[in-house]
Each structure stands twice: as C-alpha cells, then as structure tokens.
Amino acid sequence: MDEGNQTNVSHFILLGFPTSDELQLLLFSVFLLAYLLTLMENIIIILVIQANHQLHKPMYFFLGNLSFLEIWYMTVIVPKLLADFVTQDKRISFQGCMAQLYFFVTFVCTEYILLAAMAYDRYLAICNPLRYSSIMSNRFCTQLAASCWVCGLIIAAVKLSFIAQLRFCSIDTINHYFCDISPLLNVSCTDSSLAELADFILALMVIMVPLCIVVTSYICILFTVLRIPSTQGRQKAFSTCSSHLAVVVLFYSTTLFTYARPKPGAIISPDQSKVVSVFYTIVIPMLNPLIYSLRNKEVNVALRRQLKKKGFLH
C-alpha cells in the first residue's frame, strides 16, 4: 500500500481548553447551557414554521433549513467537547476524527450556500415582486435547498480526501477542541502543501462565491429600497431582510479569516483560533434563532400565537 494512504496513529488527543478543574466545570456548564438553549430555540423555530400556514413561504422554508442545519452543526462538536471537560480521556479515534471533520465541513459549507440562497430569495421578493411567486415555487425552493446540501457534502468529501491521505506519526495531540482542517494539517508529518492548497482554493470558492451573491443581492436591494418614496415603505421593505443580513455579518465575519487563508496559522495563533471558533460553532448558532424571532415580526407574532394556544401566554 502507498505510504501516503497510511497512518501511524489510531487516535488523536484533543487538547481543548487546558485550564484548572474549577474553570473546566464552569466552561462545561456554560457550553452545556448554550447547547441546550440552541437545540430548544431551533426546534421551536422549526415547529412554529410547520404549525403556521402564514409562514409557509420560501423565506421561512429556508429558515427552517437553517435551523435544522444548526442543530446538527452543534451536535457534531459540542457533545464531545462536553465529555472532554469532565473526563481525563480526551482521545478521539482516527475514524471518529475524520467523521467529525467531514460532517462539520459539510454543515459549514452548506450554511455558506444556504445564506446565499436566502439572500437571492430576498432580492427577488424586494426587487422583482411581480415574478417572485412564479420563480420561487415550492419545487424550485426544494431544489435550491437540496442543492445547498449536496454542494456541502461534495465539497466536504473532496477536502477530506486530501486530509485522509496525509501521514500522522508520533505527534497525535491536536491543539483544538474538535477536529478541524488547520489543526490536522499542523500535526501531519508529511508534506501537506497540496492539501493546504486544495483547502485554500475550496475555501475561497465556498466563501467568496456565496459572498458575492449576498453582496450583489443586497446592493440591488439597497437601490430598490432607496427608490421607495415613503419612509414607512422603506422601513417595511428592509425589515424583511434585516434578520438575514445580521446573521450573514455574524457568520462571515468570524469564519472568513479562519478558513480563507493560504496557510494554517498564517494570521491567527492556535489559541486565538479556538476563541474565534467558539463564536461560529457555539455562540452564533445560539444567537441566530433569537435574531430571527426578535427582529422578524411574522415569526414573533406566530411564536406568540403558538404560546397562547399552549397556555403559556394570556
């Protein structure tokens, strides 16, 4: 067998957050609360969208996909992270590490593309309202969402194919709290330049192409909104996409410099990378449902209606 397809390690050790026992317990409590809160928020968003016919629109169809994605996005990482806080055994098998990496990259890439699809939906709704219903049919929305997921799966498979061919020798400690591409490239004992180049090119494609779609869509939206004569009309038009714009800014701002760089560690150190990663793997998925429920009037009204039906509000 070719040496490039072999590995001398059966497992990796995730260094995580090396701190005192008291701080480990505090971090465990904080991340557990964030995880449970995120699960609850996203499940509520999905159920509210399903239960209210007023929300059976393309915009909320994509929002439901985003909530479903972020449930699994955190589940791939957080349970293992929580277990590492309360046990001395921080090992993860080589196969488990590759599986975690594959699904994490899948969900990240899918979210990039899904946010672009949501921006395109807002562009059509505001800039081309007369054709919106005919273009954004149920069939087209389903195909568009499915394409986002398929692209994420394919891109992750290509990235993993390069990572899996690397050779990992005596160094089996990963200075991170989950199996990410850059930490794995840093502990490889063979030439990883090809894998780094492939990762950089794919990262640019999956980040910059959706970002261009988002920026172009919002430039068109801005010009259309500015042409609306009344202030109330402008506010109403822009309020339909303000939640999405906030989510895009949060997600892109924390992931752009982490993945769109030619060499791991070229911009930020491993410890800084872990801190930034906490934002886009834990904090932002927790904030997204709050942004949509608080800043979106239709979701807010539907949520209150469901709470009244269940007797939680009077």
pLDDT in tens, 136-178: 999 999 999 999 999 999 999 999 998 888 888 766 788 889 9
- The conformational region for residue 168 under phi > 0 = left, psi -120 to 50 = alpha, else beta, is beta
CA atoms of 31 and 297, how far apart (whole Å): 29
Percent of the chain whose pLDDT exceeds 70: 90
The stretches of the chain forming alpha helices (DSSP H) are: 21-51, 58-75, 78-86, 94-127, 129-135, 138-164, 181-186, 193-226, 231-259, 270-278, 284-295, 297-309
- The conformational region for residue 311 under phi > 0 = left, psi -120 to 50 = alpha, else beta, is left
Look up the pTM and report it.
Answer: 0.89
Model confidence over 222-246: pLDDT tens digits? 998 888 888 777 777 777 788 888 8
Name the strands in the sheet holding 11-14, side by side, starting at the edge strand that comes first in the sequence.
91-93, 11-14, 173-174
> In which element (H, E) is residue 14 found?
strand 11-14
- The conformational region for residue 132 under phi > 0 = left, psi -120 to 50 = alpha, else beta, is alpha
Domain ranges across the chain: 12-309
Model confidence over 263-310: pLDDT tens digits? 544 556 667 778 888 988 999 999 988 887 766 777 777 777 777 776
For 112, phi then psi, to 5°, come to -55, -50
Q: 3-class DSSP state for residue 236?
A: helix
pLDDT at 3 exceeding the cut of 50:
no
Q: Are strands 11-14 and 91-93 parallel, antiparallel or unpaired?
A: antiparallel
CA atoms of 7 and 5, how far apart (whole Å): 7
The whole-number pLDDT of residue 261 equals 59
CA angle 30, 33, 35 (to 5 degrees): 110
Percent of the chain whose pLDDT exceeds 90: 39
The whole-number pLDDT of residue 171 equals 63
Find tokens 């969208």 and name the residue.
49
The whole-number pLDDT of residue 120 equals 95
The domain made up of 12-309 is a member of CATH 1.20.1070.10: yes
CA atoms of 144 and 153, how far apart (whole Å): 15
pLDDT at 4 exceeding the cut of 50:
no
Average pLDDT over the chain, rounded to an integer? 85
State the pLDDT confidence band at 1, using cuts at 50, 70 and 90.
Answer: very low
Stretch 87-93: mean pLDDT: 87
Stretch 104-129: mean pLDDT: 93
The whole-number pLDDT of residue 30 equals 94
The whole-number pLDDT of residue 5 equals 44
